[in-house]
Amino acid sequence: MMSPVSGQPTAADDARRPTNVILFIPDGFGPASATMARDYLRKYEGVGELAMDSIQTGSVRTFSTSSRVTDSAAGATAYATGVKTYNGAIAVDTLQRPLGTLLRAAEGRGMATGMVVTSRITHATPASFSSHVPERWMENEIAAQQIQSGADVILGGGMRHFLPSSAEGSEREDDRNLIDEARAKGYTFVDDRDGLMNLSNGPVLGLFSMSHLDYEIDRDPAVQPSLAEMTDKALSLVSKDKDGYFMMVEASRVDHAGHGNDAAAHLKDIIAYNEAMEVALKHARRDGNTLVVSVSDHETGGLTLGRDIHKEDGVDGVYAWHPEVLHRVEGSHGAMFDAVSARYDHLPDGATATDSVDAVAAVLSNMAGIDDLTDAERASIQNSLGSYDLNYTVSDLIERRAVIGWTTRGHTAVDVNLYAYGPGVENFRGNMDNTEVGDILASLLNLDLDALTADLREETEETQKAEKSKTDATSGPSPGSE
Amino acid sequence: MMSPVSGQPTAADDARRPTNVILFIPDGFGPASATMARDYLRKYEGVGELAMDSIQTGSVRTFSTSSRVTDSAAGATAYATGVKTYNGAIAVDTLQRPLGTLLRAAEGRGMATGMVVTSRITHATPASFSSHVPERWMENEIAAQQIQSGADVILGGGMRHFLPSSAEGSEREDDRNLIDEARAKGYTFVDDRDGLMNLSNGPVLGLFSMSHLDYEIDRDPAVQPSLAEMTDKALSLVSKDKDGYFMMVEASRVDHAGHGNDAAAHLKDIIAYNEAMEVALKHARRDGNTLVVSVSDHETGGLTLGRDIHKEDGVDGVYAWHPEVLHRVEGSHGAMFDAVSARYDHLPDGATATDSVDAVAAVLSNMAGIDDLTDAERASIQNSLGSYDLNYTVSDLIERRAVIGWTTRGHTAVDVNLYAYGPGVENFRGNMDNTEVGDILASLLNLDLDALTADLREETEETQKAEKSKTDATSGPSPGSE
């Protein structure tokens, strides 16, 4: 290790301990994502740096116990608990036993806590701070645990896992209405931007969509709050607590756009993340007691700025990339498909494949500024009509013009950028393991995650024992049973 | 900007000024390159961290004046001079005027200086520290300027630009023997590992190959020194100077392997860079006066660890990458082609395309451990027989098995990792512009690059004036000439 610039390491130094921690997780934000957004802002807003550029302190390695390429569940669990686990695990260890999390430990110490996300609040990242299940897709169970977690601020999407099965759009398989249950516990429930903005006290449960919030590029600002607005409101609520606060903010959909290889949606959600970071940093600079750490869980998509297109096209695209192509795009791939579907509905009976391709071409012209489709590109569109492949055909059309590459619809193993500001910042430097980030945050906040883990394990064992004896009692003694 | 951890900024603080600077440039080393090498070393050597991991302090943005995707000339010029310029420029500005460089300014201040590289010493990166030409391919002119640069240690490849045109393999177009000229200036000339190892005094010109040194994966350690050996020897020579030293070490061929999409060669050259960093850091830890900075000029190849191969192959390759595939590879693509050529020479008259494919398959079995070629892969090989495309066919065979992606045969724009250790380290943090790195190094070493630039410009203007008057005198007054 390098000799510390500041003289002494400081985890034990109270003067350097933060009262509050804001942990940002820009899900799926890789090193190239940062360059992409900065290059764009330099060209279109004359801003040479991202809000977090000056506070980069190193990078983080993200492998899980089951793969060199982590998923968001194992990635978030590492930050939330300081323990590596398998892909798919939500705050449980490799033996599926619950692990104490920063949020629950902070809650236990009387601090205010919050979670602000743009995905379903039951998605892997927020779930790993506020619930314990062996498999990330158990989102109904996650929701039920989340309203018991004690979090003072819960903002995001995912209402479908909170409504009883009888409600339209619900994904629950039981009759529980978790929104009512939350209200009974004292939560105010809000479901749109105005409702959130008018709040002045917590606790609050804000669910602004049945599933994920809209991509920033598609968002109606009158209906859904931005990540920056949610962050600002959440900070105003949790900062009233004299015992300090722990807040996790996830720019969730940076990842989803990566999975869809949707460069413009990826870019605009990164810019929304950047704006939320500005809000948090402004807050931290003002109070002087707040540590802000931002670190992705993994990269998504294998994004590269630059792509070898000359070899196929006779176009020398190497040594360039063109943000202006993304600047012309006015909707996510999903929004474009909605527009295509609307056009299909108006095609006359007996419409030909050419008519269908024309419908896609019209949407590309209107929403992506692409008016120069080649015959080969029209043929590609025709081949993927009516299939999900159309998504990647459109991606390719846009990204070839932007000279951008993607190599996967999944994640990659590349180290992610580490940013930190505030008291305790000197502990975040160099290339760190993702579990170290969680461990150090716990130490700086005086949270004993091991003790909480022990409590949770005991609780689980008692519950299992109780369930077992209930089952035994119900089924009665069974001769010859093991 | 974050409040400095160390209290006061220190560029003006002599106590924090380094006596010596070692600047490492791992050419073409992107963020994924670091992850790749660490994952490999963790598996095969039980080493969890790279030598530089604990000293990462941020990242660097690399765009040039002519493109968001820089080349090595503009990239190295930014570090060498603190000035952004166009792709292709070697230590000249956008008006092609010479720029003062760290190496020449250090030389002018009486410091010892050195350059250690694995490419031709006349290649863009070392050229940008030791010569001034408007176009990187002017390597004969670069060589001539390099032996005038005053550098005390010059180690690398590129002998073909130092030998007179009459010599076998020379690329010069004149009769100058720059090796003899260097000897006349007091340089000892060496051309193999033993010659270098036996040296105890500089100045030294060591040229170990006509062109680039071999890739680490192909290197014969009895003939060519490793990057770590060259670094160690160079440090032992320049550190004798009481006035301090400036040394630039380039892991040049990390980039070349990226251009070739040759993952195993890329990996092994990164490991060689890591070993050279260990040598430098050991040195710096011992003397306490040496600042080590390591920063790439740009990423090459668009490397991603993870790749979406299931959609074509029915194989779910997402969420994994496999270093064991690269572990089995025993030579660079170039070495494999040499082996293929040797087999071709032994094919009987009337050999079929199948025989040729079999020759390639035998080499892949022997040198890459690939014994499971599919019919489709054999067809790909057959289609690219006799063409340079065979390189990328082989790349694809290996990288699909490793679940690695490449998106380009050129560079990409992604920010590169910044590493720093030693006195003055606190100046290297956050995401910096590449020119800031050069500026801060100059400031820490008390080098006035602007003054040197002014001198060089005056010199150039005088030379041009002299050449003009010589031309005028030779051609005589010409009535009616402009």
Which DSSP string corresponds to B46-75? ---S-TTGGGEEEEEE---SS-SS--HHHH
**Amino acid letter, residue A338:** D
**How far away is chain B from the Cα of A131, in angstroms, using its nearest Cα?**
24
- The domain tally of chain A equals 2
The answer to whether residue B327 sits within a structural domain is yes
Within-domain flag for A345: yes
**Rounded Cα distance, A142 and A117, in Å:** 15
- Are residues A118 and A252 in contact, defined by beta-carbon separation less than 8 angstroms? yes
Helices (H) and strands (E) in chain A, counts: 18, 14
What DSSP state is assigned to residue A214? P
Among chain A residues, the shortest Cα distance to B259 is held by A308
Q: CA–CA separation, A63 vs B472, rounded Å? A: 69
Q: For residue B276, is it within any domain? A: yes
| Inter-chain touch B39–A413, beta carbons under 8 Å | yes
Mean pLDDT calculated for residue range B127-144: 98
Q: Express each pLDDT in B172-204 by its tens digit.
A: 999 999 999 999 999 999 999 999 999 999 899
**How far is residue B345's CA from residue B341's CA, in Å, rounded to a whole number?**
6
CA distances to A207, A405, B141 from A113, in Å = 17, 39, 65
Sign of torsion over alpha carbons A83, A88, A90, A96: negative
Which one of A49, A302, A306 has the shortest CB-CB distance to B405? A302
Cis check: omega of the bond before B225, within 30 degrees of 0: no
B223 and B335 in a common domain: no
What pLDDT is recorded for position B468?
Answer: 81
Relative orientation angle of helices A263-287 and A227-238, to the nearest 10 degrees = 30
Out of A5, A320, A412, the one facing B306 most closely (by C-beta) is A412
Pick the catalytic residue: B33, B64, B72, B395?
B72
User: What percent of chain A lies above the pLDDT cut of 70?
Assistant: 93
Judge whether B63 lies within some domain: yes
> Looking at the structure, do residues A158 and A35 belong to the same domain, yes or no?
yes
| Together in a domain, A231 and A364 | no
Angle between helices A263-287 and A389-402 (to 10 degrees): 70
Specify the CATH number for the domain of residue A381.
1.10.60
CATH number, domain containing residue B109: 3.40.720.10
Task: Please identify, among B361, B390, B405, the residue that sits at the C-terminal boundary of a domain.
Answer: B405
Query: b/e string for A333-365 if b means 16 or more Cβ within 10 A?
Result: bbbbbebbeebeeeeeeeeeeeebbbbbbebbe
Q: How far away is chain A from the Cα of B431, in angstroms, using its nearest Cα?
A: 5
Looking at the structure, tell me whether residues B389 and B413 fall in a common domain: no
B309: containing domain: 304-405
Within a domain: residue A194?
A: yes
Residue tagged active-site, from A33, A64, A72, A209: A72
A285 and A349 fall within a common domain: no
Q: CB–CB of A35 and B413 under 8 A?
A: yes
Report the C-alpha gap between A191 and B387 in whole angstroms. 62
Q: Which of the four pLDDT bands, split at 50, 70 and 90, describes residue B2?
A: very low
Q: How many CB atoms lie within 10 A of CB B46?
A: 7
Evaluate whether residue B478 is within a structural domain.
no
Task: Compute the count of residue pairs across chains A and B with CB atoms less than 8 Å apart.
Answer: 201
Cβ distance of A307 and B306 shorter than 8 Å:
no
Chain-chain contact of B30 with A31 (C-beta, under 8 angstroms): yes
Separation of alpha carbons A321 and A314, rounded Å:
17
pLDDT confidence of A4, banded at 50, 70, 90?
Answer: very low
- In this model, does residue A7 exceed pLDDT 60? no
B411 is in an annotated binding site: yes
| A407 Cβ contact partners less than 8 Å away, ≥ 6 residues apart | A301, A302, A304, B302, B304, B306, B307, B308, B405, B406, B407
Looking at residue B285, its amino acid is R
The residue that leads in pLDDT, A83 or A343, is A83
The percentage of residues in chain B with a pLDDT greater than 90, rounded to a whole number, is: 84
Place of tokens 């012309």: A328
Q: Tell me, yes or no, whether A470 lies in a domain.
A: no
Q: Mean pLDDT for chain A?
A: 92
Model confidence at B12: pLDDT above 70: no
pLDDT digit string, tens, across residues A168-199? 999 999 999 999 999 999 999 999 999 999 99
Q: Note whether A105 and A27 are same-domain residues.
A: yes
Check if the beta carbon of residue B58 is closer than 8 Å to that of residue B418.
yes
Same domain flag for A294 and A385: no
**pLDDT reported for residue B124:** 98
Return the residue of B nearest to A72 by Cα: B319
Answer yes or no: do A417 and A378 share one domain.
no
Confidence of residue B482 (pLDDT cuts 50, 70, 90): very low
Task: Tell me whether residue B468 is in a domain.
Answer: no
Query: Nearest residue on chain B to A36, judged by CA atoms?
Result: B414
Do B438 and B398 sit in the same domain of this protein? no
Phi and psi for A126 in degrees, rounded to 5?
-65, -35
**A130 catalytic per annotation:** no
Say if the Cβ atoms of B421 and A319 lie within 8 Å. Answer: no
